[in-house]
Structure 1
Amino acid sequence: MSATVTNIFDQQLDRNHANYATLTPVSFLERSAAVYPDRTAVIHGNVRRSWLETWSRCKRLASALQRLGVSAGDTVSIIAPNIPEHYEAHFAVPMSGAVLNSINTRLDPEAVAFIMEHAETRVLLVDREFSTVVARALRLMSRHPIVIDIDDPQFEGGKLIGQMTYDALLEKGDEQFQYQPPEDEWKAISLNYTSGTTGNPKGVVYHHRGAYLNALSNIVSWGMTDKPVYLWTLPMFHCNGWCFPWAVAAVSGTNVCLRQVRVEPIYELIRRERVDHFCGAPIVLNMLNGAPDELKAGIEQNVRVMTAGAAPPASVIEGMESLGFSVTHVYGLTETYGPSVVCAWKNEWDELSLTERARLKSRQGVKAPMLEGLVVADPVTLEPVPADGKTIGEIMMRGNLVMRGYLKNPTATEESFDGGWFHSGDLAVCHPDGYVEIKDRSKDVIISGGENISSIEVEDILYRHPMVSEAAVVARPDEKWGETPCAFITAKGEVTEEEIIAFCRENMAHFKVPKTIIFGDLPKTSTGKIQKFMLRNRTREL
């Protein structure tokens, strides 16, 4: 006769309102408003708002959205630069029960229309700078959202194309709005679209739990102390600003807004507002490195920089650190809420030379504090590769920092989660100390005469040349070798193809040396990533 065995810890110790709450990053804003009501939360030109004011505005916006007919599970899209309204949307939209869809501001009307149709956008908030693109996108759509204009006084131009302005919408909201957290932290909080360089973009769904945990993961991995001053150089539309709208609220910091990523206002704001944290792609760091010395003068505080995107050349990191900025290198994808891997620093590395420290920092690193699993493995067998720094495998992740999946695309979702891991598509090695280092995207490996050539490795050498400002290496079709490396270079001054090739031959195996050098500006995404697919297309025309 068998008896049912019950764990003693499962007896009358149930989950209830006293001992359990769903995780949502909205709680960070609520706490900052309660604990530090008068502390400055947002700076935008002459606008300075406290945490209490920001909380109040978010409650009014959430209430007003509901009065417009927005309900749980609806999509509210926004097209705007890094301004206070965009920041507020990161809290107010989920407070209303809706899902925030922050759209890339550099997309064409066709892409914007596709995203809003696919997301079934109910309400669109649009800054007047992008009214022309949006108006054309709306003409392509069969069903139109309710359009709300953001009329930022810092921008002159554009048109108001909506039913009302953002400020008028706020006036319709209730400051006494009672926010109710979601019953399930697995509910969607935001929707972000991939770049879609090889077809229509895929909609990546984030949940409240993941957004909450990645915000905290950013704080821990970056060592963000109380009251940081964060400059918005990273687009809020990019993986929800790597979850930093929520992270800054969690530490009751100050958000310094920035409409355009230009050298002059960045250095001016760092000095004037005593900014001590900002994020950016390597191209942004390279731009700051190359700024005139007079712009860099007068910065006395320690400034921490977080960078990700294309693997940053060690020379770019070295340049920033020579300015006195402390660089943290992170890695992630849209599908992992932005940063999920960090090049965690070890004290024993402090004694190394600047060049050697920069080389170590250029590695992607180890799993972030809130990521459960990170492995470099064979993409077919899922067997981890040896930690020898040589054997190449695919980076895979698992845990709370991985998306729910792709919206309306179960096939792609299933493929990306094959074997219980998220497949990144990035090829890397694992070093003996456990740190991973990307060698290439699977689609960017150059196979020349049967030999695999890492485009990132070649680019790293090119960046060491004193006359190279930017570099990207792609495969060029070749009748004899199948493919050969082709380097696209933005030069700082006069330099010839022969000089570049000679430099490469001195610093790398000869089969890796680019056979073709093309000078000029490089096409980039809005987040600073070089669009290699466009460069590959150009090689077919050579």
Structure 2
Amino acid sequence: MQKPLLVTDFLDRAREHYGDHEAVVATTGDRYTYAELGERADGFAAALQDRGIEKGDRVAVLDPNTHYHLEAAYGAMQCGAVHTPLNYRLTTEDFAYILSDAGVDAVYADYEYAEKIEAVRDEVPTETFVTNDPAAVDGDWEGFDACLDGAGDYDRPEMSEDEVITINYTSGTTGDPKGVMRTHRTETLHAYIVTIHQDIADDDVYLWTLPMFHVNGWGHIFAVTGMGAKHVCTRGVDAASIFDTVVAEDVSYLCGAPTVLNRLIDHYRDGDPQTAGDNDVRIATAGSAPPEATIRTVEDEFGWYLSHVYGATETGPLVTTSDARRLFDDDDPDRFAVKKRQGLGYLGTEVRVVDEGGEEVPRDDETIGEVVVRGNQVMEGYWNQPEATERAFSERIEGYYHTGDLATVNENGLISIQDRKKDIIVTGGENVSSIELEDTLFEHPAVGDAAVIPAPSDEWGEEPKAFVVPTNGDVANPGVTPEELISFTRERLAGFKALKQVTFVESLPTTATGKVQKYELRSQEWEDEERMVGEG
């Protein structure tokens, strides 16, 4: 027997079995049961259809992590429309590009960000504009709640699991964003394996510190909903409010990039807040490998259980986990060496590390190759970009998505990312991992955050340079000198791997999900050079 895999099944299941149970704690202080969440999603679906939205039309959602995002997403998908979440940190020009590229027919935008859409509304094909507070927005915008009040019933069209239901745009740090097409099937199967590997259960209380727009919140808008767990919404990441909410709402699960973990650690050390309510807390992190010192603080001082996961927008995103508990004991200090690795492939996911010829590298944890992925959660392709899609699936080995990440593999098959292809530092003919250097720097108490990139070198072609955010936040008096940090790395690594330059900065450029945008640092460092790569 074959039953179509549809993303609408997740809310349907929650409504059927958990209708009277609390589904959402809103940023407004309101609380909604799953029955009420479903009614609001139905109302938005009807409102969209009243305004001419049909199956296959694109509906954009621009929202911080509020209940409106959940309602707009499910409302659109119940119409068979394609949910197109937008990164709220983008510029008006970015929004103009995405709305036009996707041919977006309707947009819901939170009142804080609607002005960025209003500025380009005459340049885009969008005809329906909805916000949660039209009084706070210039221009002709309809109110979300008013749309619900005036809506009747909606007709759910017949849908196929192979039809595109979401388009997630990549960050576009090296060019225009690309629309990653995801079908009902890819979203559903990704949510299934996330539910398993992240241990999501119906009594979980999930805190939305991860942007919902980012690959549909790593699939958590589906997984948390489908299991009947509770969503606790936010309007941004603030360390103090995270700890306060974890305690007040008995949060049991949240996600956060290493930069978010650093903010939490800084606040914890400054104020010694309570770190848990009645529930044990677990946290998933991804983006870049968290240093062992960070994991140690989160687990030993916060008392939270940390799992390190890995993936890309194109892969669902999640494809690996370090949560291989048969390979370490919970009280074993050696567990940190396992947890900082990207780890093992998720169920049904084939993760390989291959050389230039497409052959798997040996499991010696030294030989570097590119991570390629095949699985049911991998994207259908890039929206209107067949050539880019072809390249992504065929560069080294046919039929696998090529991540661009370089990694080694150990004897147990756990991968460890060494760098992005474009971030590997080639100095004097030797390959240097910026991640290894960053991990070393994090062991120094004066280093709060750091990013290492290749800098131009007359002698070596390029050489490692670190941008360091001091722990004390004082760039003028960081508590350590560049020379001391350079010596610190030389004492712990092979000589050719040691830092050659250090610059102290107040902050690092990051994406909305906390990923450091090294491309910006490289552009700044190489602006006087003819090419952004050395001849090392």
- TM-score class normalised by the smaller sequence: over 0.9
Counterparts of 1:24 and 1:312, CA distance in 2: 35
One-letter amino acid matched to 1:308:
A
Question: CA offset at residue 163 of structure 1?
Answer: 3.2
Query: Which runs of structure 2 are paired with 1:127-276 in the superposition (5 Å)?
Result: 127-139=110-122, 141-151=123-133, 158-174=136-152, 176-182=153-159, 184-276=160-252
Q: Is the 8 A contact 1:214 1:370 kept in 2?
A: no
Q: 2:96 aligns to what?
A: 113
Question: CA offset at residue 375 of structure 1?
Answer: 0.6
1:489 aligned to which of 468, 480, 485: 468
Question: CA offset at residue 164 of structure 1?
Answer: 1.0
Question: CA offset at residue 162 of structure 1?
Answer: 3.8
Q: 2:498 aligns to what?
A: 513
**3-state SS of paired residue (2:523):** helix
Question: CA offset at residue 468 of structure 1?
Answer: 0.5
Q: Is the 8 A contact 2:167 2:180 kept in 1?
A: yes
Does the alignment pair 1:448 with 2:424? no
Counterparts of 1:337 and 1:166, CA distance in 2: 29
Question: CA offset at residue 324 of structure 1?
Answer: 0.5
Moved more, 199-208 or 223-232: 223-232
Query: Which runs of structure 2 are paired with 1:320-335 in the superposition (5 Å)?
Result: 320-322=298-300, 323-335=302-314
1:377 aligned to which of 334, 354, 357: 354
Q: 1:89 aligns to what?
A: 72
Question: CA offset at residue 131 of structure 1?
Answer: 2.4
Counterparts of 1:162 and 1:377, CA distance in 2: 53
Q: Is the 8 A contact 2:275 2:303 kept in 1?
A: no
Counterparts of 1:163 and 1:497, CA distance in 2: 53
Counterparts of 2:272 and 2:382, CA distance in 1: 43
Instruction: For residues 262-317 of structure 1, give each alpha carbon's deviation from its aligned partner in whole angstroms, at most 9, with x where no partner exists.
Output: 01111111000000000111100111111145452262431010111122222221
**3-state SS of paired residue (2:422):** helix
Counterparts of 2:190 and 2:451, CA distance in 1: 31
Q: 1:4 aligns to what?
A: none
**3-state SS of paired residue (2:188):** helix
Q: 2:475 aligns to what?
A: none
Does the alignment pair 1:309 with 2:287? yes
Query: Which runs of structure 2 are paired with 1:387-398 in the superposition (5 Å)?
Result: 387-398=363-374
Question: CA offset at residue 241 of structure 1?
Answer: 0.3
Relative to 1, partners in 2 of residues 1:358 and 1:181: Cα closer, same or farther, differing over 3 Å? Answer: farther
Structure 1 unaligned regions, length at least 5:
1-18
2:489 aligned to which of 492, 504, 523: 504
Q: 2:342 aligns to what?
A: 364
Moved more, 312-321 or 211-220: 312-321
Instruction: For residues 406-441 of structure 1, give each alpha carbon's deviation from its aligned partner in whole angstroms, at most 9, with x where no partner exists.
Output: 001000001111111111110001111011111000
Counterparts of 2:119 and 2:454, CA distance in 1: 36
Moved more, 228-237 or 299-308: 299-308
Q: 2:532 aligns to what?
A: none
Does the alignment pair 1:476 with 2:455? yes
Query: Which runs of structure 2 are paired with 1:70-89 in the superposition (5 Å)?
Result: 70-89=53-72
Q: Is the 8 A contact 1:131 1:161 kept in 2?
A: no
Q: 1:7 aligns to what?
A: none
TM-score under structure 2 normalisation? 0.93
Does the alignment pair 1:431 with 2:416? no
Q: Percent identity?
A: 38
Counterparts of 1:465 and 1:142, CA distance in 2: 50
Q: 1:24 aligns to what?
A: 6
Q: Is the 8 A contact 1:59 1:179 kept in 2?
A: no
Instruction: For residues 356-393 of structure 1, give each alpha carbon's deviation from its aligned partner in whole angstroms, at most 9, with x where no partner exists.
Output: 2112101011111242x111112x42111111111111
Counterparts of 1:257 and 1:138, CA distance in 2: 28
Counterparts of 1:137 and 1:321, CA distance in 2: 46
Counterparts of 2:114 and 2:131, CA distance in 1: 9
Q: 2:273 aligns to what?
A: 296
Q: 2:531 aligns to what?
A: none
**3-state SS of paired residue (1:63):** helix
Relative to 1, partners in 2 of residues 1:207 and 1:200: Cα closer, same or farther, differing over 3 Å? Answer: same
**3-state SS of paired residue (2:276):** coil
One-letter amino acid matched to 1:313:
P
Q: 2:36 aligns to what?
A: 53
Q: Is the 8 A contact 2:72 2:108 kept in 1?
A: no
Q: Is the 8 A contact 2:60 2:85 kept in 1?
A: yes
Query: Which runs of structure 2 are paired with 1:450-465 in the superposition (5 Å)?
Result: 450-465=429-444
One-letter amino acid matched to 1:433:
N
Moved more, 469-478 or 23-32: 23-32
Does the alignment pair 1:339 with 2:326? no
Q: Is the 8 A contact 1:375 1:384 kept in 2?
A: yes
Counterparts of 2:127 and 2:443, CA distance in 1: 50
Moved more, 221-230 or 343-352: 343-352
TM-score under structure 1 normalisation? 0.92
Relative to 1, partners in 2 of residues 1:302 and 1:188: Cα closer, same or farther, differing over 3 Å? Answer: same
Instruction: For residues 516-537 of structure 1, give each alpha carbon's deviation from its aligned partner in whole angstroms, at most 9, with x where no partner exists.
Output: 1000121111111111011112
Question: CA offset at residue 504 of structure 1?
Answer: 1.0
One-letter amino acid matched to 1:536:
R
Q: 1:3 aligns to what?
A: none
Structure 2 unaligned regions, length at least 5:
473-478, 529-536
RMSD across aligned positions (CA): 1.6
Q: Is the 8 A contact 2:200 2:223 kept in 1?
A: no
